[in-house]
Structure 1
Amino acid sequence: MTPRPAPERRVRSFAQVDVFAETPYLGNPVAVVLNGDGLSDEDMARLATWTNLSETTFVVRPESDEVDYGLRIFTPGGEIPFAGHPTLGSAHAWLEAGGVPKSPGKITQECRVGLVEVRRSGTSLSFRAPDPQRVGPLDSALLDRIARGLRIGRERIIAHQWVDNGPGWAAVQLASADDVLALKPDERHMNDLMLGVVGAYPEGSRLRFEVRAFGAPAGVREDPVTGSLNASIAQWLIGEGAAPHSYKVGQGACLGRQGVLTVEAHGEEVWIGGSSVTCVRGTVHL
């Protein structure tokens, strides 16, 4: 029996970008295929599994001529409609590769959650937080499970909310950033949760909050630095009057990272930003 020939592969531009970090290798990496047109869903999923990063993205031709590019976002577990650090890392790679926005200083990305606006200020990029798809308090059974998963008493959860803007986030607040950093979750109760935990630093600190993201994205036990989660937590806390309109967040310390995100609220809009740096640039055969 004659073996079937291997499918023809193209050489495609590729970058790996560290997001929410000024120093390389201390943020959250994303793999970016800069010309993803013609790839099947299976092709994209296969590469995302192979890179084994929290997300791998594919820049594709958008459906609308009014936007700059389309973006497909895959985790090792499958495609998701939106994620923050892949949005900024992909915009960074697209600009470095010679992309020119249709509107000066503003990039419009088309993804499964809709249109996402990215703006550039100096060397920093920020995205406008998309509208949440689910809000409201968490139910009692879920809170009990979260407390077991975090190995804490339920009374230590001082606030909670659905903060889902696509990936499926729920969030709980603890009394302090130190409480967040001290968590040692029990994975038996966490394996299918998309959970963010936030706690405040003392007044006058360089950072306002510390955040950790568990079970997210799919297939990752803890995400180093998470734009989508911080976007929806900011919408929640600022909306409740529990956070100022401008602050910085730390994330990733428990994983040896030094992620820093900036939050800026202007009216009803919340913007999440930070620095990005390209660590790998080349080609991939797909």
Structure 2
Amino acid sequence: MPTFDFKQLDVFSGVSLKGNPLAVVLGADSLTDQQMADFANWTNLSETTFLLAPRDPRADYRVRIFTTLKELPFAGHPTLGSCHAWLQSGGVPKGEEIIQECEIGLVRVRRQGAELAFIAPPLLRTGPVEAPLLERVRLGLGLAPEAIVRSQWVDNGAGWLAVMLGQRDQVLALQPDFSQLHGLAIGVIAPCDPARDEVDSHFEVRAFIAGDGVQEDPATGSLNAGVAQWLLAEGLAPARYVVSQGTVIGRAGRIHVERQGDEIWVGGAVAACIEGRVQL
């Protein structure tokens, strides 16, 4: 049975066990779609990635991203974790930036000191969430009618919609009824009050994927990339800000967002947890 280099990483945290875990299989060109799907299901993580030789000559490597149930065209923390694994395994980019190929296309990644950041991909769907769906979301989240102050589609491939609440403690108190939210990917965000909340972030985020193997994501790059495009376009966030995520489930994810000209970069730290080989 063939063996492959394998890494398990923690993304959006410089400390192991406090971010969003990711399994990465390197040199996975010989694996079939079914083998990838089976291994991703077995790891039981929110995402598992497989690194392959690029098909596009502009790319440094190609990645395929799987949840326990399906393949994704793009996801944020798998982008940073996969790039980290590729670099740590001796990958040398063709240019100053690293170019990742995935199902959504080419994604630029850059090094920011000890951290990595990816450029927010274009939104596939935007605009306000439709009233009937928003009411379903409100009921599933157990919120009062006036609790949601804004909503927006922020879908860049994972189907995200986002709702904004007024205060951080409202986000932390949520206990969703996932039976009412099946099939939805929902981000909930609220601004932080430095004096009251005593946190080092500007916003608190929670990400719910009803019906997926992991119903709350600890730290979500794709969601925060989409939310950043929404907030910055409407003047609801400064050009550089920090998001805290995973608080309720014992994590300490920190996602750094920065607008530079017309580009939005989403980044954070990556910590290596496990390295070895896997038989597949």
Which TM-score band applies after superposition, normalised by the shorter structure? over 0.9
Separation (CA, whole Å) in 2 of partners of 1:258 and 1:29 = 12
Amino acid at match of 1:33: V
Q: Where do 1:167-178 residues align within 5 Å? A: 167-178=158-169
Deviates more, 1:68-77 or 1:196-205: 196-205
Is the CA contact (8 Å cut-off) linking 2:218 and 2:249 kept in structure 1? yes
The two structures have a TM-score, normalised by structure 1, of 0.95
The match for 1:5 is none
What's the counterpart of residue 4 of structure 1? none
| Inter-partner Cα distance in structure 2 for 1:181 and 1:162 | 22
Q: How far 1:219 sits from its partner (Å)?
A: 2.5
* Equivalent of residue 139 in structure 2, options 130, 142, 148: 148
The one-letter amino acid of 1:107's match is I
TM-score normalised to structure 2 length: 0.97
CA distance, structure 1, for counterparts of residue 210 and residue 122 of structure 2: 19
Q: What do the CA deviations read for 1:235-272 (whole angstroms, capped 9, x no partner)?
A: 00000001111000000001100000100001221101
Aligned match of 2:69: 77
Number of matched pairs: 277
Who is 1:230 aligned against? 224
Residue 159 (structure 1) aligns with: 150
Contact 1:194–1:217 (Cα < 8 Å) also in 2: no
What residue is the counterpart of 1:121 in the other structure? 112
Task: Map 1:35-74 onto structure 2 (within 5 A).
Answer: 35-74=27-66
1:128-163 deviation per Cα after TM superposition (whole angstroms, max 9, x unaligned): 000000001111110110011110123210000000
**Which of 209, 212, 219 is equivalent to 2:206?**
212
Is the deviation greater in 108-117 or in 183-192? 183-192
The answer for the alignment partner of 2:180 in structure 1 is 189
- The separation in 2 between residues aligned to 1:231 and 1:218, in whole angstroms, is 20
2:130 is the counterpart of 1:139: yes
SS at match of 2:42: helix
Q: Distance in 1 between matches of 2:77 and 2:272?
A: 13
Say whether residues 1:240 and 2:237 are aligned partners. Answer: no
1:95 to 87, 96, 110: 87
**Cα drift, residue 218 of structure 1:** 3.2
3-state SS, counterpart of residue 155 of structure 1 = coil
The match for 1:269 is 263
- Give the distance between the partners of 1:31 and 1:83, measured in 2 at CA: 13
Give the AA of the match of 2:107: V
Instruction: Pick one of 253, 256, 259 that aligns with 1:259.
Output: 253
Q: Contact 1:217–1:223 (CA<8 Å) still a contact in 2?
A: no
- Contact kept? 1:71, 1:109, Cα under 8 Å: yes
| In structure 2, C-alpha distance between the alignment counterparts of 1:265 and 1:212, rounded to whole Å | 22
Structure 1 CA distance for aligned equivalents of residues 22 and 264 of structure 2: 23
CA distance in 1, matches of 2:120, 2:210: 18
- Matched residue type, 1:225: A
Q: Distance in 2 between matches of 1:47 and 1:278?
A: 20
CA distance in 2, matches of 1:220, 1:149: 17
Q: CA-to-partner distance for each residue in 1:17-42, whole Å, 9 max, x for gaps?
A: 10001111100000000111011110
Which runs of 5 or more structure 1 residues have no equivalent in the other structure? Answer: 1-8
Identity of aligned residues (%): 52
In the alignment, residue 139 of structure 2 is paired with which amino acid?
A: R
2:18 is aligned to: 26
Larger of the two Rg values belongs to structure: 1
Q: Deviations over 1:102-127 (max 9, x none)?
A: 113x1100000111010002210000
Task: Output the amino acid matched with 2:180.
Answer: H
Q: What is the identity, as a one-letter code, of the residue corresponding to 1:191? A: H
Shift in Å, 1:206: 2.0
Q: C-alpha offsets along residues 145-204 of structure 1, whole Å, 9 cap, x if unaligned?
A: 001111012321000000000000000000011111111111211221100000000156
